[in-house]
Every structure is written in structure tokens, then in C-alpha cells.
Structure 1
């Protein structure tokens, strides 16, 4: 379906029983709502109604050109506006990578809209800030963001040789067809720039404004994640005042929804069932 919200048109994939409890799924970079394909069957079998959103910059008709249009507050406002358009007062929220950042900020700023939060791979912004200050390894892990924030240079680097850089980045999501499913849409005119604008609009002020999260929360992290280290992952607990569960997946890389959909679905369902 397509949802008109805030002057933009978002692509949303809906599934599961229409009367089921709603779940909003927020993807990461450089993917799209298709990253939840392996997770959705278990959620639907459990009776949940899912809405997988192609976020700002990823939906072709929700692709503003200004960098400032991709600040965190805009991304959170998109999520609430889409829930409004769907007639959903409050949803279970699941987010991976950048989608997790949006989920954290949404739960902190609008707890009434979030029944539960399952954040995947990326911890609360304050936990990341703690790790970047105290863990030299996390600084090294996050160095790629310096490239992503460079206009033109990042696009040229990732799109050179038919998108070879993007395909290397996506190693771990699955076979060549799965990699292409994510990389090919990024080669459309303007698409990669729009999604990189999430990094370019990122500011310490916006991230620092994300307060503690009081809704029931599960954080899922994998020990082979090259982007997020253990210090950041374990610092997450201090940022949740509600019921909190930390799930560590052994031998799994950053691409948890693609690589480990079954244990991720189990963690989501455990959180939903605990607080429904």
C-alpha cells in the first residue's frame, strides 16, 4: 500500500491478520522493508498485523532533496504520521540499524505510541555516545560514517564499478540475489544520496536529545557485528527505565534480520507476548 503523510507518499507492506495487534517495522541502511521477509511469517502465524515501512529516502515518492529533511526529528515524525494514517494509536515497534535509532527516538519522545520496542543491532544513542567516548575500538568501528557524510565522494565510492562498493558492504545478507535486491534500488537516480542524507543530517544535538526509554524494550545484538561493539551494546541497559531484555546472538553479523530471522522473530514475539 501507499500512505500519504506529511506531503510525502510512503510505501508500506502490510500483512498478517487485519485484527491482529499492529507491529511497525523500520529498516536500516542500505536496505528497505524487504529485509523483514524472513521474520514476517512467524509474526503473522502468531496473529500479528505487520506494517513494514520504506522510510524517507527509500520510498521513491518520499525523497526530499535537502539534507536537513533527514534529521532524526523528521524521521520520527514520519513514523507517527504513518501510524496516524493507518489508524493505529500504538504499535509494537521493531527497528534495525537506522530503523533502531528511529525506534529509540520514537519510544523516548512518544511513549504512548509504542507498546513495546525491539531494537536490533544499534543501541540507544546515549549508549553509542558512551562507547565513542570510552571505547577506542568503537571509534574505529564507526569510522565509515566519515565517508558516508562526504557528499559526492561517498556516492562515487559506493557506486563505482556497477555498485561494487555497495555489494561489498552488504556481504552477509545472503546470496547474490539478496545482495542485488538491496543494492540495485540504490543505483536509481537520487536514491543513494537520499539515504546517505540520514548520515549527513545526523547531529550530536539530535542524538543527545533522545532521552531514556520507559516502554518495555528488547535489544538484540550480534557478536560479529563490525559496526557495533560490546561496550556500546552493554551500555544500552542504562538507557531503559522500563522492563528490559538483552538478547545476544552468537556468530551472527550486523545483518540480523537477513542472517538470523528465526531467533530475531523469537525475540520479538517474546517481547510482544510478555507485554500484551
Structure 2
């Protein structure tokens, strides 16, 4: 997925009771940290195309495989993947490198964890950049029943919670087919179908649209998930209601400067009225689907570098 000029060989770093596999570049820029947070089902190397320009722009780039992914620890307890543990890992990672705070960039679940870290430990986040997933308003109803009421029991996030282990097993049995079918762009308009969409993707013989990953990149991602399995990453979803409870007493307003990057064709919904909860946010969009930093790598990188430069 990368070469030696983009990322060093990863290190295993003990933080918060686990070990994280951490990729790093730009140590010569120590003192100006940026933490890159991947989503699901993904890997730290999702940022491979951003790293050279970020280092050239003067950043010490730190990209962990978060708990449950790649070569990082994979606790067996579902509760080990709640918001306190996930944000605690990132805060402890800053401690390891001797940083009080950093700029955080997150895609998908990585965006959500970056938002939550900013809410829970605002002193650790100087600026936050989110790709695809906007800040999630807590609302009056726990997230799983809320999603079930709107999108039904088959919606994959609901299914993950209501039928534990079912999707995990199917994805483990069809790892390559699932990832091949998921990492696509220029997709046709979706047609509604019954069942868990992730299971459907894993079982589909035909891949739609165009591939995002090269054959070698797909091989590397498949190898990572064949080693870890999908259950640890899915356990992040199985803490949605627990996280709703844990965030109940937290100030919901994000005060740090924020950049929200959407994909115009991303199925993830945009946030209406995001500025009410993130008053210092700038919202932009690119002509792409969900895998923003991989579909539009140059444009994504330029947006990040330019926005951060304006805030210096």
C-alpha cells in the first residue's frame, strides 16, 4: 500500500492497556503533530497518498491502526471498544510522543472518534478534520433504537447489534470478495434490497463500479483482515448505545476549528445545521463517494494542507 518514502515500518506502542501498530513519518517535524485516524473496515495505510505532502508541509504524521485493526491489540470484550477506550488510546498516544495536543484527521469511524475526543478531551485536539462522517448529535433516544426506527432492523448498524456474530462470520468467510466489492467508486444508483447491506456485499459475485485499490493494495488489506477478523472492528458499532450513555454529561459543542469534507456521492448523510454544534466549522465537498481520501487523494490533501495553513 505504500513505500518507504511515505511511511516508516510500523512500531508497536503500548498505550492505555493495549498495543497499537503505529505508522509514522516526518520525525524531523517533531513539535507539529498530526494524527490520522482510519475508519471501518480500513487500515492506517488508507492515508498513504496523503503522507508525503503532509510531511512536506511540516507535520509529524502519526497514523495508528486503532484497537481491533491490523497488528494492534484485539481485546475480546465488546466493552473494550467503547468511546472511553478509543479516545483514551489516542490521548495516550499523544502522551507517548510527548505532545499536549495535535491536529486530528479522521475518516468514517476515525472521524467519529476524532469528534468524540475533541468533545471529551478538548485540550488534546488543536484542530479537527473529518472526512465523510459529520459530528453526530446525541439526541433523546439511544442510537441503535433510533436507527432501527428510521432505517429498520436490517440496517447494518442495527443488525450488528441485534444479531451479534452473524455478519462477522459471513465477512470472515468472504473477506476478499467483501473488500473487493466495498472499495469501489463511480457506483450506479443504489437499488433497495432486503437484508444487511454488508452481508449482501460479501455474498455478491459481481463488483459494481470501478476499483479504488490496486491488486497489491487489496491483497494487503485482505491479509490484514484475514489476520484480525472482522469482529473487533464491528465491536465499535456494538458500543453505540453504551457511547450514547457515556456521552450524556459531556458538553456537546465542539469549539475547536473544524473542517468537514463530504463526498457528493457518499451514502453517508450530511449533517443539517452542523454549525449549531460545531460553530467554527468549514464545510466543503468533493465529487466522489465514501472513500474520499483514496478516490480524490490530491484534492483531499490540498484541502487539508491549505485549511491548516490558513489557521496558523
TM-score (norm 1): 0.87
Q: Is 1:205–2:242 an aligned residue pair?
A: no
The residue that corresponds to 1:187 in the other structure is: 226
Q: Contact 1:219–1:246 (CA<8 Å) still a contact in 2?
A: yes
Q: Contact 1:121–1:221 (CA<8 Å) still a contact in 2?
A: yes
Decide whether aligned partners of structure 1 residues 147 and 49 sit closer, same or farther in structure 2, where only a CA change above 3 A counts.
same
Q: Contact 1:105–1:210 (CA<8 Å) still a contact in 2?
A: no
Q: Post-superposition shift, 1:187?
A: 1.5
Q: Contact 2:70–2:225 (CA<8 Å) still a contact in 1?
A: no
The residue that corresponds to 1:111 in the other structure is: 122
Q: Secondary structure at the match of 2:172?
A: helix
Select the structure with the greater relative contact order (CA < 8 A; seq sep ≥ 6): 1
Q: Contact 1:109–1:211 (CA<8 Å) still a contact in 2?
A: no
Q: Post-superposition shift, 1:262?
A: 1.3
Question: Which of 5, 13, 32 matches 1:3?
Answer: 13
Decide whether aligned partners of structure 1 residues 162 and 98 sit closer, same or farther in structure 2, where only a CA change above 3 A counts.
closer
Q: Which has the higher helix share?
A: 1
The residue that corresponds to 1:229 in the other structure is: 269
Q: Contact 1:9–1:59 (CA<8 Å) still a contact in 2?
A: no
The residue that corresponds to 2:105 in the other structure is: 94
Decide whether aligned partners of structure 1 residues 259 and 110 sit closer, same or farther in structure 2, where only a CA change above 3 A counts.
same
Q: Secondary structure at the match of 1:13?
A: strand
Question: Which of 129, 139, 160 matches 1:148?
Answer: 160
> Is there any run of 5+ residues in structure 1 with no aligned partner, and where?
none
Q: Is 1:272–2:312 an aligned residue pair?
A: no
Q: Distance in 2 between matches of 1:191 and 1:135?
A: 25
Q: Post-superposition shift, 1:129?
A: 8.8
Aligned residues: 267
The residue that corresponds to 2:5 in the other structure is: none
Give 1 or 2 for the bigger CA radius of gyration.
2
The residue that corresponds to 1:158 in the other structure is: 171
What is the alpha-carbon root mean square deviation over aligned residues? Answer: 2.6
Decide whether aligned partners of structure 1 residues 182 and 59 sit closer, same or farther in structure 2, where only a CA change above 3 A counts.
closer
- Please give the per-residue CA displacement for 1:176-221, whole angstroms capped at 9, x wherever unaligned: 3333332331122x53111111111222334665711000000001
Moved more, 83-92 or 199-208: 199-208
